[in-house]
Amino acid sequence: MNSLSKTIKCMIALTLFAVLTAGCSSTPTGRKQLTLKSDAELAQEGTRQMAAIRATSALVQDRATIDYVACVADAIVGTLDGEAAALYWELAIVNQPDVNAFVMPGGKIVVKSGILSVAENQHQLAAVLGHEVAHVTAHHANERATRGELAGYGIDVLSIILAGDSNNRYSRNYDPNRARGISGATNTFGALGLLNPFSRMQETEADDIGLIYMAKAGFDPRESVSLWQNMNSSEKTAKVPEFLSTHPSGETRIDAMVDRLPEALALYNQAKAEGREPNCKP
């Protein structure tokens, strides 16, 4: 058996081993997922990253703004149960103009102050925070790390097969330019054909789950559509085609949210009937 065949078989064996040893769980939508990492280990990393952000970033000091964002976040988290409710949820508001928010494993939510210029009221802010909370409850970080690792094995195998001996620097047929070209092409294929579509799927799922969370908390889910209309209007740069992006386009997100509104509105009306009507003020 030549060295190329040995390398390919080794890579395939590693991929199969990773799949066989992966954990199996479900997102709040019921979708089955594979996870290689430990949630506890990722949560510890999230805690470290949050500590670093607090130590190195300019945080918003205005008490009214902090209380406002925390009020919305607390209402969203208050809809959770089980392990998600037991997490130590933590919030940091970074004084930056970026229209952005993100979440880290273990319930660490970071909001850039610029998002408050686009989220015009508590309901629209709840759409943002509900989405971020959903990334945590759906174990998206763990799943994304797993998918990236497995895709990496597959891309390496594909690159080796396509390059053949030209990718073996000890072969007389070794061609560094061809090897680099094939490596770049297979990595591009991996991003556009595997990882980007998967990331867009996660973002759509977080939108769906977040819409339910905000409605259960007593926030008007119809405002999620208004939020994304504002987001689309706020974009000052040329829009990236959806297939090149890790996120669905604003138009795609709005269409999906409109489809989910009947279910979300029913939960919203139930929440109001049960007295859950947040009054968070900036």
279 within some domain: no
184 within some domain: yes
pLDDT tens for 54-83 read 999 999 999 999 999 999 999 999 999 998
46 within some domain: yes
Domain with 127 in it: 3-273
Which of 215, 20, 55 is closest to 126 using CA atoms? 215
43 within some domain: yes
Torsion-angle region of residue 278: left (phi > 0), alpha (psi -120 to 50) or beta? beta
239 within some domain: yes
- Cα–Cα distance for residue pair 127/132, rounded to 1 Å: 9
126 within some domain: yes
Tell me how long the chain is.
282
Angle subtended by helix axes 140-163 and 176-189, to nearest 10: 150
Domain count, the chain: 1
Single pTM value for the model: 0.75
pLDDT tens for 260-270 read 999 999 999 99
Which of 41, 45, 90, 132 is catalytic? The answer is: 132
- The reply to whether 132 belongs to the active site is yes
Residues 132, 101: contact at Cβ < 8 Å?
Answer: yes
281 within some domain: no
282 within some domain: no
pLDDT tens for 190-243 read 443 445 666 788 889 999 999 999 999 999 999 999 999 998 887 654 454 543
pLDDT tens for 92-125 read 999 999 888 999 889 999 999 999 999 999 999 9
